[in-house]
Amino acid sequence: MNKILVIEDSEPLLKDIVEMLTMEGFDVASAKNGQMGVAALETDRPDLVLCDVRMPVLDGYGVLDHLRSNPDTTNIPFIFLTARSGREEWREGMQLGADDYLTKPFKVEELISAVHTRIARSVNLQDHTERKLNELRESIVLALPHELRTPLNAILGFSEILTGDAENLERAQITEMSGHINRAAQRLFRLVENYVIYTTLEVMRADEEKAAAFREGRTHYPAVIVAQHAEELARQNEREGDLDLKMPDTNISLAIEDENLGRAARELISNALKFSQKGTPVEVCFDTTDSDMIIRVTDYGVGMSESNIKSVGAYVQFNRSLTEQQGVGLGLTIARYIADIHNGSLKIESSPGEYTTTTLQLPLAQDEAQPL
pLDDT band at residue 87 under the 50/70/90 scheme = low
- Considering only 25-34, 188-197, 210-219, 326-335, which range has the smallest mean pLDDT? 326-335
pLDDT band at residue 101 under the 50/70/90 scheme = confident
Cβ–Cβ < 8 Å for 263, 338: yes
Cβ–Cβ < 8 Å for 68, 74: yes
H-run or E-run covering 30 = strand 27-31
CA 216 to chain centre: 23
- Considering only 16-20, 67-71, 357-361, which range has the smallest mean pLDDT? 67-71
Tell me: pLDDT of 134 over 70.
Answer: no
Q: Distance between CA atoms of 113 and 13, rounded to whole angstroms? A: 18
Q: What is the pLDDT of residues 304-346, one digit of tens each?
A: 888 777 766 544 444 444 344 444 467 888 898 899 999 999 9
Q: Distance between CA atoms of 40 and 49, rounded to whole angstroms? A: 11
Tell me: pLDDT of 93 over 80.
Answer: no
Length of the chain as a residue count: 372
Which whole number is the average pLDDT over 279-295? 92
pLDDT band at residue 204 under the 50/70/90 scheme = confident
Q: Which stretches does DSSP call E strand in 35-185?
A: 48-52, 78-82, 100-103
pLDDT of residue 239: 95
Which whole number is the average pLDDT over 222-242? 94
Summary mean pLDDT of the chain? 84
Tell me: pLDDT of 219 over 90.
Answer: no
Angle 10-15-20 from CA coordinates, rounded to 5°: 125
This prediction's pTM: 0.55
CA distances from 352 to 10, 21, 300, 302, 306 (A): 60, 51, 10, 6, 9
